[in-house]
Amino acid sequence: MFRLDNKTAIVTGGGSGIGRAIAKVFAAQGAHVFVLDLNEQEGISVANEIKSANGNAIFKKCNVALQKEVDTIINEILNEVSSIHILLNIAGVAHIGNAENTSENDFDRLINVNVKGVYNCMHAVIPHIKNKGGVILNMASVAASVGIPDRFAYTMTKGAVVGMTLSVAKDYIQQHIRCNCISPGRVHTPFVDGFLAKNYPGKEKEMFEKLSKTQPIGRMAQPEEVAHLALYLCSDEASFITGCDYAIDGGFIKLNN
């Protein structure tokens, strides 16, 4: 079950965090993985890890916010493989701030990466997978469903991701494209460690425990747990699922009363 043999998967933001975990899990299940990331060092590292485990991975440096660059990379991929089967839009940036203290530059940066980046990749890939059949999985967040303090711009972008997901699912259901999104709660990624080190020096452990306990289950998710849900949704076993936003949040949305 959940094998991806003979399938090509594109993972944006595949150099770190959730994207890295997804790239490794999908490769372990037999997919030919293209790791797209702006960070060349991290992207190459992930591709090399996969190849050292006898997996199949190629790194492509890509800024998803630039449509021409995305189009070029997708065309390069199609020159190397016969078909694209799975697109995972994982690349994204975070921001802390409310409507007053979010600068225009930060607002534009989040729009360009978190919203336009997802659009750019779907715009480039959909023409090559429609009618042939394919899966698109986007990365949303629990922030799109509930209010989280000081996440104004981030919440806005993730709400847009959910909206794009539903729209693509409806528009292309007859062309055999399934489109879903995942909404994680807090996940223990390098971003979390960097955030704590920057904002709570000397109190990292204390604040990590505090953040962990905001999930009713009492801990943060591991990136691999999100990757396993992504694997299911992109596998043939999930062929009846489209137009859904899946929370993976330790009970954050439903149980935090």
pTM beyond cutoff 0.75: yes
Residue 200 a catalytic site member: no
Contact indicator for 61, 34 with CB cutoff of 8 Å: no
Domain 8-185+222-250 class?
alpha beta
* pLDDT, tens only, 141-162: 999 999 889 999 999 999 999 9
Mean pLDDT for all residues in the chain: 96
Q: What is the pLDDT of residue 255?
A: 92
Q: What is the pLDDT of residue 191?
A: 83
Separation between Cα atoms, residue 97 and residue 106, nearest integer Å: 10
pLDDT average, residue stretch 8-36 = 98
Residue 199 pLDDT > 80: yes
Structure tokens belonging to residue 153: 């711009």
User: What are the beta bridge partners of residue 136?
Assistant: 87, 179
Query: What is the predicted pLDDT for the residue at 58?
Result: 98
pLDDT at position 76: 97
Which of the residues 119, 154, 172, 232 is marked catalytic? 154
- Work out the pLDDT band at 198, boundaries 50, 70, 90: confident
Query: Which range has the worst mean pLDDT, 51-60, 85-94, 133-142, 185-194?
Result: 185-194
Q: Where do the domains of the chain lie?
A: 8-185+222-250, 188-220
- β-pair type (32-37, 86-89): unpaired
Q: Which residue has the tokens 């989040």?
A: 110
Beta strands in the chain (DSSP E): 8-12, 32-37, 56-61, 86-89, 134-139, 177-184, 245-248
Residue 257 has pLDDT above 80, yes or no: no
Residue with tokens 């699912």: 169
What's the pLDDT band for 190 if we cut at 50, 70, 90?
Answer: confident
